[in-house]
Amino acid sequence: MVTSDEVQLTNVRKTARMSPLKTTEVQKQYGADLPYLKGKNLQAIFKSKIVSAPDYSPYEIDGKKLAQAAFRDFLAGKSDINTAIRLADEQINQMIASK
């Protein structure tokens, strides 16, 4: 079975992909069969904590559409990159001020 401890341990040793298993044995064996990881401090990977994703701005979706439209104009040769960025910035600020 793919989720068995044995398969997860083999996968961790040979591919250095993270495993959902939290056992110390899996962490100790991380990348053990990969020569380019020999002598590296791989245990440092497991010391950090995963942070929660930031809250999204209520303006993100509309702002992204405006920025993408300005970038498409740049790609089409309708404006240079500085003008596209300036126009997108102005439009996004107007959109925020109007809400």
Q: Domains of the chain: which residue ranges?
A: 5-46, 60-98
**pLDDT tier, 4 (very low <50, low <70, confident <90, very high otherwise):** confident
Contact call for residues 74 and 80 (beta carbons, < 8 A): yes
**pLDDT tier, 86 (very low <50, low <70, confident <90, very high otherwise):** very high
Per-residue pLDDT of 26-60, as tens digits, reads 888 889 999 999 999 988 888 888 888 888 899 99
Of how many residues is the chain composed?
99
Q: What SS3 class is residue 64? A: helix
The more confident residue out of 23 and 86 is 86
Residue type, 24: T
